[in-house]
Chains A and B, each alone.
Chain A
Amino acid sequence: SAVISQKPSRDICQRGTSLTIQCQVDSQVTMMFWYRQQPGQSLTLIATANQGSEATYESGFVIDKFPISRPNLTFSTLTVSNMSPEDSSIYLCSVAPAALISRGGGPRVEAFFGQGTRLTVV
Chain B
Amino acid sequence: GEDVEQSLFLSVREGDSSVINCTYTDSSSTYLYWYKQEPGAGLQLLTYIFSNMDMKQDQRLTVLLNKKDKHLSLRIADTQTGDSAIYFCAALRIYNQGGKLIFGQGTELSVKP
Contact = CB atoms under 8 A, between A and B. Distances in A.
Q: Do A and B come from one complex?
A: yes
Interface string B21-56: 000000000110101000001110100101000000
A98 to B, nearest CB: 10
Contacts of A48: 98, 100
Contact of B41 (A50, A103, A115): A115
Contacts of A113: 35, 42-43, 45
Nearest to B8: A40
Interface string A102-121: 01010001111111100000
B94 interface: yes
A110 B105 CA distance: 20
Nearest to A59: B1
Interface residues of A, number: 25
A24 interface: no
A94 B101 contact: yes
Contacts of A30: 98
B103 A43 contact: yes
Q: How large is the interface on B (under 10, 10 to 19, 20 to 34, 35 or more residues)?
A: 20 to 34
A111 B42 CA distance: 13
Contacts of B48: 109-110
Nearest to B100: A45
A121 B14 CA distance: 39
Interface of A: 30-31, 33, 41-45, 48, 50, 92, 94, 96, 100-101, 103, 105, 109-116
Interface of B: 30-31, 33, 35, 41-43, 45, 48, 50, 88, 90, 92, 94, 97-106
